[in-house]
Amino acid sequence: MEDEVQRDIEVRREQERRASLLFNRFAEHLYGDARSPYLAFQARRSHLEIELKLEADDSTGISNMKMFCFDLTWAVIAHRTGRGPDFLVHDSKLYDGVDERQVARALDLAARVTREEGMQYVVTMNSDDLAKAQRMGFDADPHVIAPRLDDSETGGLFGFRF
User: Which amino acid, one-letter code, is at 15?
Assistant: Q
Distance of CA 37 to the CA centre of its chain: 14
Report pLDDT for 162: 59
Residues 59-93 have pLDDT tens digits of 888 899 999 999 999 999 999 999 999 999 999 99
- Model-level pTM? 0.82
Q: Does domain 2-135 have CATH number 3.30.420.40?
A: no
On the question of pLDDT at 131 being above 70, the answer is: yes
Percent of the chain at pLDDT > 90 equals 47
Report pLDDT for 87: 95
Mean pLDDT of all residues in the chain? 85
Residues 7-49 have pLDDT tens digits of 777 777 788 888 989 999 999 999 888 778 878 887 777 777 8
What CA–CA distance (Å, rounded) separates 53 from 37?
Answer: 6
pLDDT band of 149, cuts 50, 70, 90: low
Contacts of residue 65, Cβ cutoff 8 Å, sequence gap at least 6: 27, 30, 31, 54, 98, 102, 106
- The residue extents of the domains of the chain are 2-135
